[in-house]
Amino acid sequence: MGKFEKVIIFYFSGTGNARMIASWFSKFAIENEVYCRIFDITSEGYIYLKEIDSDALIVFISPVHGFNYPKITLDFIRSFPKGNNSVVLMNTRAGMKVGKMVIPGLTGIAFFLSSSILKRKGYKTIGQIPFDMPSNWLSIHPALRKKAIEFIYEKNYHRVKKHFKILYSEETDFASNKDIIQDLLISPIALIYYLAGRYFLAKSYYASNKCNNCHLCIKQCPVQAIRLINARPFWSFKCESCMKCMNNCPSRAIEVAHGLWLVLIVLASTTGSFLFRDWLPNTWIVRFLFFNLIFFILLLVLYRVQHWILNNKLIAQIISLTSLTHYKCWGRYKANQNHQEQI
């Protein structure tokens, strides 16, 4: 591997964590007189694929969803033209501050799968680097506090600088290897998420009665997963759960249907118990398959019903009260792109 003089960065980002890592890496490249270009794969990435020089270092940066790159990132990598460039894979995982430490997330199969795809296209992976940026998974936990976010930014800014120096000094950088055992153990969950889990999360978002129909969520969705039905945003199965809509909504109208989750689990469990008791073989594989089948049928039906009854202001208010994301204490998160100038 020779010292690179050009870097082309392709990123996908919902709330801005991956974009921030890309901008920091670009900053250090420019400081070292390395030509660098950054492309958002949702808006312009495909346009510039033919402009990649054979001697440029290619960097892919994307969040991890369900211990894998999201489908939009994987599809972009699959569509990448053949070549022989050196490639660095990066991801942003769910980082949490505990004391003076940043507790890391897990990469899962993101690097294994992507490097395998790129190898078949002729590329050589010289780096696999995870970054534990502030977790934005507001479906599960409240937004991190400002001090915790600033602390995590500080740590990752210096990590990006360190890893840039390693790569620029003509060394390989497989920082992800220290997590390889955990990543392998978690890989079955990554498969389950890709086949089923992401569809469940896609149907967990709704627009509350605070929605003023600005349609910003529809316009900004990177995968065009939101459409207008009955004059209200409706989330399709194309949703990547990147949280961009929820965290960018100026009215904080987009919420997670935690109440619907509870109803779904109770109904699916009750229906499944009845069927297994009287009609179906009571083996774990049959139970697993039929529970998920029942769950997704109920999900389709109840999500439609919820969308319809949200037009009633009283019912919409009651539904909002069952969502943790409705309350101000839960917060929202969007990466501070000006932070690099503050360090």
Q: Is residue 336 part of a domain?
A: no
Rounded distance between C-alpha atoms, residue 96 and residue 151, angstroms: 10
Cβ neighbours around 318 below 10 Å, total: 12
Q: What is the CATH number of the domain that holds 125?
A: 3.40.50.360
Residue 211 and residue 105 share a domain: no
* pLDDT tier for residue 48 given thresholds of 50, 70 and 90: low
Mean pLDDT score of the chain: 90
Check pLDDT > 60 for residue 341: no
Which residue has better confidence, 342 or 337?
337
**Percentage, residues of the chain above pLDDT 90:** 77
Structure tokens that stand for 17 in this block:
């964590």
Residue 288 and residue 264 share a domain: yes
Check pLDDT > 70 for residue 243: yes
Q: Is residue 341 part of a domain?
A: no
Residue 181 and residue 256 share a domain: no
Q: Is residue 338 part of a domain?
A: no
Q: What is the pLDDT of residue 339?
A: 57
Instruction: Evaluate if pTM is beyond 0.95.
Output: no
The average pLDDT across 314-343 equals 85
Residue 231 and residue 97 share a domain: no
Check pLDDT > 80 for residue 336: no
Residue 151 and residue 15 share a domain: yes
Check pLDDT > 80 for residue 226: yes
Judge contact between 112 and 83, C-beta under 8 A.
Answer: no
Q: Is residue 256 part of a domain?
A: yes
Residue 165 and residue 42 share a domain: yes
What is the SS3 assignment for 223? coil
Q: Is residue 126 part of a domain?
A: yes
Q: Which of 189, 209, 239 is the last residue of a domain?
A: 189
The average pLDDT across 244-271 equals 93
Residue 99 and residue 202 share a domain: no
Its domain, for residue 156, covers 6-189
Q: What is the pLDDT of residue 342?
A: 46
Residue 181 and residue 280 share a domain: no
Q: What is the CATH number of the domain that holds 232?
A: 3.30.70.20
Rounded distance between C-alpha atoms, residue 25 and residue 8, angstroms: 11
Residue 75 and residue 24 share a domain: yes
Rounded distance between C-alpha atoms, residue 282 and residue 273, angstroms: 10
Out of 9-23, 40-54, 144-158, 244-258, which region has the weakest mean confidence (pLDDT)?
Answer: 40-54
Residue 116 and residue 257 share a domain: no
Out of 50-59, 211-220, 284-293, 302-311, which region has the weakest mean confidence (pLDDT)?
Answer: 284-293
Q: What is the pLDDT of residue 55?
A: 87
The average pLDDT across 302-323 equals 96
What is the SS3 assignment for 255? strand
Q: Which of 172, 189, 206 is the last residue of a domain?
A: 189
Q: Is residue 335 part of a domain?
A: no
Q: Which of 131, 156, 189 is the last residue of a domain?
A: 189
Q: Is residue 339 part of a domain?
A: no
Q: What is the pLDDT of residue 293?
A: 85
The beta strands (E) that lie in the chain are given as 6-11, 35-40, 57-63, 86-98, 101-103, 124-134, 205-207, 226-229, 232-235, 254-256
Q: Is residue 124 part of a domain?
A: yes
Instruction: DSSP for 98-166, please give it.
Output: ETTEEE----TTHHHHHHHHHHHTT-EEEEEEEEEEEP--TTTSPPPPHHHHHHHHHHHHHHHHHHHHH
Q: Give the model confidence (pLDDT) of 159-194 as tens digits.
A: 999 999 999 998 999 999 999 999 999 999 998 898
Which residue has better confidence, 203 or 270?
203
Give the total number of structural domains in the chain: 2
DSSP-derived letter for residue 84 is -
Q: What is the pLDDT of residue 291?
A: 79
Q: Give the model confidence (pLDDT) of 269-306 as tens digits.
A: 888 677 666 666 667 677 777 778 888 899 999 999 99
Residue 36 and residue 181 share a domain: yes
Residue 209 and residue 177 share a domain: no
Judge contact between 86 and 116, C-beta under 8 A.
Answer: no
Cβ neighbours around 75 below 10 Å, total: 13
Q: What is the pLDDT of residue 118?
A: 97
Rounded distance between C-alpha atoms, residue 45 and residue 278, angstroms: 54
